[in-house]
Structure 1
Amino acid sequence: MNVITRYLIREHHIPLTATIIRKFSQQLETSLHQQYMIPLSYLNIYRTRKEFKLMKSIQHRLKKGNYILRETDKSGIFHIGNSVDYEKKAEAYRQKTGAYNELDSNPLWSVFDKVILLLNDLRLKKYILSWHLDKMMPKRNKVQLAYLYFIPKPHKAGTRLRPIVSSMNMPTTGISRFLDKLIRPIFDKHARSTTFID
């Protein structure tokens, strides 16, 4: 509770003696008590155990049968397929396009260090301001190498795979987001005559 109170004081400048803090504290305490201290009903305990056993059974069967469970590209339904077939289709796609190579080593930290070095160099030379640096600087605990994965399309014959490249947490993501915010209004202004909404 002290953490929340300190946050409210620091971020929202609410005085410690404000009645809203006392009311909030009481409501939060009541809510937590109801949620976690009151014993579950027999029906909820039974349902929880049954669902847990079902989940473990599905996991065991998927592993034993060499199957793979993936969310599909439409409607958020799940598709169960043979993992060997899935790997063959993924490899065939990589061979056909020639656009992706499997890496022998992980270059993430090398890329991360280069991005930090370049951003700090830009700041040192006063090409960017400190708040620009803060916006573009990657966070060590959040960065991730881009990766390729596939989503099955079971509504198509032969269950094709849709390739997806996830690069949401690359070391360069902050730079691209920052530049997008700067450039997007200019682009939209000049491309307005060719823009259409479907």
Structure 2
Amino acid sequence: PNYIRSSQSSLHSYKHQEKHVQQEHKNIMNVITRYLIREHHIPLTATIIREFSQHLETSLHQQYMIPLSHLNIYRTRKEFKLMKSIQHRLQKGNYILHETDKSGIFHIGNSVDYEKKAEAYRQKIGAYIELDSNPLWCVFDKVILLLNDLRSKKYILSWQLGKMMPKRETVQLAYLYFIPKPHKVIHF
């Protein structure tokens, strides 16, 4: 990226920074110890793991806890306030923040204008049909029915059924290439 905001941790209290360091340390150590145990058969009590853990914690403390100059603290807080101000104005004005294709440039537009343009495009092309109901739950029920049928006929084992069974909270329809994904369009 062209710009990274300086020391975001300076916006938070010492306690919050310490908690963040501990969380980062825990996550990294979990990944590394699992790898070392699985791939290299190094026991969890090995001194090399303890030494690495200490070095990692020291490095994380230096990264997150090093005091900044007053100028950098001022700059960071000023940029944070500016960012919050922009977010507030976007929410208040009912705007959409949208990243353009592959260029990394953001476009800000009114959500009503986007809806009008989308409707005009659908009318012009005439290729889209608005569905009366969501087909997701019909497909979801069919998948569950078929999986239970496979299990009852003993084509799959119970652990396989558990792995393949869709979860109602996380299931979603696949996105088509022309429909923007939720992480690409930010509604305010």
Task: Give the shorter-chain TM-score range.
Answer: 0.5 to 0.7
2:16 aligns to what?
A: none
TM-score scaled to structure 1, two decimals?
0.56
Q: 1:164 is paired with a residue of what secondary structure?
A: coil
The correspondence for 1:99, drawn from 120, 128, 131, is 128
1:55 aligns to what?
A: 83
Distance change (3 Å), C-alpha of 1:165 and 1:46: closer
Q: Number of aligned pairs? A: 153
1:46 aligns to what?
A: 74
1:80 Cα deviation (Å)?
1.8
Q: 1:163 is paired with a residue of what secondary structure?
A: coil
2:98 aligns to what?
A: 70
Structure with larger RCO (C-alpha < 8 A, sep 6+): 2
Q: How does 1:1-198 map to 2 (within 5 A)?
A: 1=26, 4=30, 7=34, 11-12=38-39, 13-95=41-123, 96-101=125-130, 108=136, 111-128=139-156, 133=161, 136-139=164-167, 142-146=170-174, 163-164=178-179, 166=181
Contact 1:116–1:137 under 8 Å retained in 2: yes
Structure (1 or 2) with the greater strand fraction: 1
Contact 1:146–1:166 under 8 Å retained in 2: no
Q: Percent identity?
A: 76
1:26 Cα deviation (Å)?
1.1
CA distance in structure 1 between the partners assigned to 2:144 and 2:33 by the alignment:
33
Q: 2:128 is paired with a residue of what secondary structure?
A: coil
1:196 aligns to what?
A: none
1:79 Cα deviation (Å)?
1.0
CA distance in structure 1 between the partners assigned to 2:69 and 2:168 by the alignment:
44
Structure 2's unaligned 5+ residue stretches are: 1-25, 183-188
Equivalent position amino acid for 2:76 in 1: T
Moved more, 15-24 or 137-146: 137-146
TM-score scaled to structure 2, two decimals?
0.58
